[in-house]
Amino acid sequence: MRLVTAEEMRVIDGLASSEYQIPGLLLMENAGIQVTRVITQYLDNRLIGRKVLILAGKGNNGGDGLVVARHLANAGAEVIVMLLARAEEIKGDARVNLDILRHLPVPIIPLLDDKDLNALRVAILSTDLIVGAIYGTGFKGSVPPLIAKVIRSINNQGRPVIAVDVPSGLEADTGRVSGEAIRAICTVTLGLPKVGLVIEPGTEYVGELRVVDISIPPGLIEAQNLSRTLLDRQWCVQRIGKRQAAGHKGDYGHVLVLGGSEGLTGAIVLAGEAALRSGAGLVTVGVPASLNPIIETKLTEVMSQPLPETAARTLAPDSLLALESLFQRVSVVAVGPGMSRYPEARELIQELLKMVSVPIVIDADGLNAVAEDISILKEAQNRLVLTPHPGEMSRLLGVTIEEIQKNRLEVAQKAAIEWKAVVVLKGYRTVVATPEGQVFINPTGNPGMATGGTGDVLTGIIAGFIAQGLSIVEAAGLGVYLHGATGDRVCQQTGVRGLIAGDLIKQLPAVLREWEEEAEKLPVSGNPGLKVIGGRLKR
């Protein structure tokens, strides 16, 4: 599902009117109808006698709210509209809908200064639901003092709020809130989801996100070459592929995972098992020779390769010479899980980049080694996937974690372009950025996954998908979505505190089986009309 900025959505709306002759008034009507449908569902399909308070601003967002008021009133709800603007300030399509509403038995109460706040508080106490339609996608900065008091009153009373398009007070492009913003139980966004609704801190205000169709032609959206995508189950199912009856292990690739050190053997075990569970035909883990007996005890289906080691029982740079023949047979190399931080690590990574002609996934201490000299990425003979968490990204870029977390999309995008690598910036709403400037945001996952080893599982999954023939971009996107979706399934069983990384590996087959069953039903070209719930987002 494509993501848009406020300006991109404005252009799309404008083209719908100019090129497809869809009047803005009709788009507003469609928006109001769709929001009304969501409200009806929240009120258990019983509108007669239900009390709804609608807060409308002077712009098109307020106009959408006025359409909602009309349809709710026509269906038997007891609607009150509080108008946060003077009537003469309301123009265009919003003014048309205000004039229509004035002919209906719907109270329209001005809320223009502090003396009107008492009326607001009384209305809130007696309402079943509040509809927030004060500011739309054009809003930036902080709300004026009166609006701040209005929003504070709404949030403090605890009545359920449905936001139209975006929660008022939230910036659509960034998700930032500089002052007060409505905290909704549901945000009904129009046409396409806005970037700020799916990243922090916007997600704290959105509640459930519903994306509704307002009749914008799909071809118009595709023609815009939008650079941001919200990953969803449909995107993943279309790429999971169908296995042929005559397939054999050689058809599904060979993953080589390099890493492991004293006290950290679990990391490479998790990565190797995850690669195999994601569907790779063969997996080999290369580990320091003295640790190989431990690895062989832990792993059955995954092969192991004992390699030359340093005095600290870490992989020695000359271990790569022992792998020369294997490098010719593998489909992908993953390096870093459990590798540990040690002086020779940078040399090992640098030589690996020179020697290997297949894609390389770099994670964990592999990234810390790269951070010592980021220029070694130029040595790569094939495309790279880097999977840093914010701390590792901080070391790679030489900036603070706070700076990274404030601008996750921009940071990942800039790094991917500069390093000519796919960058997977892990964390809440993991970002996948490509050297071509594309950005994917993952909605799956939960706080229970903030535990040791889950990153190693992700590395194995991504490598496993690359081995099976997916592009590194598809493998990264599919990998992060599957990783989070599996974590969500596990969390339903264990809760957030009891989840451990090994649980993800056990549940991977069940999630993949469901996807495979759905993929079997798709025509060869895929099915763009398929509507599937992904994460907490609905369409």
Question: Using one digit for the tens of pLDDT, what is the confidence trace for 216-263?
Answer: 999 999 999 999 999 999 999 999 877 888 888 999 999 999 999 999
pLDDT of residue 530: 26
Query: How much is the mean pLDDT over the chain?
Result: 95
Residue 108 pLDDT more than 70? yes
Q: Which of 278, 475, 249, 315 is nearest to 383 (CA)?
A: 475
| 424-469 pLDDT per residue, tens | 999 999 999 999 999 999 999 999 999 999 999 999 999 999 999 9
Tell me the per-residue pLDDT of 38-52, one tens digit each, with 9 for 90 and over: 999 999 999 999 999
Domains and CATH numbers, the chain: 2-226 (3.40.50.10260), 234-242+250-524 (3.40.1190.20)
The whole-number pLDDT of residue 246 equals: 83
Contacts of 215 (CB under 8 A, 6+ apart): 16, 22, 26, 27, 30
CA distance 480 to 90: 45
Bridge partners for 361 per DSSP: 334, 385
Per-residue pLDDT tens digits for 47-83? 999 999 999 999 999 999 999 999 999 999 999 999 9
From CA 57, how far away is CA 97, in angstroms rounded? 13
User: For residue 247, what pLDDT is reported?
Assistant: 85
524 Cβ contact partners less than 8 Å away, ≥ 6 residues apart:
none
Nearest to 331 by CA among 366, 282, 402, 391: 282
State how far the Cα of 64 lies from the Cα of 181, in Å rounded to an integer: 19
Backbone φ and ψ for 88, nearest 5 degrees, come out as: -70, -15
Q: How far apart are CA 486 and CA 489, in angstroms?
A: 5
Q: Is pLDDT of 525 > 60?
A: no
How many angstroms separate the CA atoms of 476 and 118, rounded?
53
* Close Cβ partners of 237 (under 8 Å, ≥ 6 residues apart): 515, 518, 519, 522, 530, 532
pLDDT at 392 over 80: yes
Q: Rounded to whole angstroms, what are the CA distances from 391 to 203, 337, 519?
A: 22, 16, 37
Phi, psi of 423 (to 5 degrees): -110, 125
- Read off the pLDDT of residues 142-170 as tens digits, 9 standing for 90 and up: 999 999 999 999 999 989 999 999 999 99
Interaxial angle between packed helices 117-125 and 145-157, expressed in degrees from 0 to 180 and rounded to the nearest 10: 20
> What stretches of 339-458 adopt beta strand conformation (E)?
360-362, 384-386, 422-425, 431-433, 439-441
Tokens of 167: 């929660």
Summarised one tens digit per residue, pLDDT across range 355-391 is: 999 999 999 999 999 999 999 999 999 999 999 999 9
Quick: pLDDT tens for 477-523: 999 999 999 999 999 999 999 999 999 999 999 999 999 999 988 87
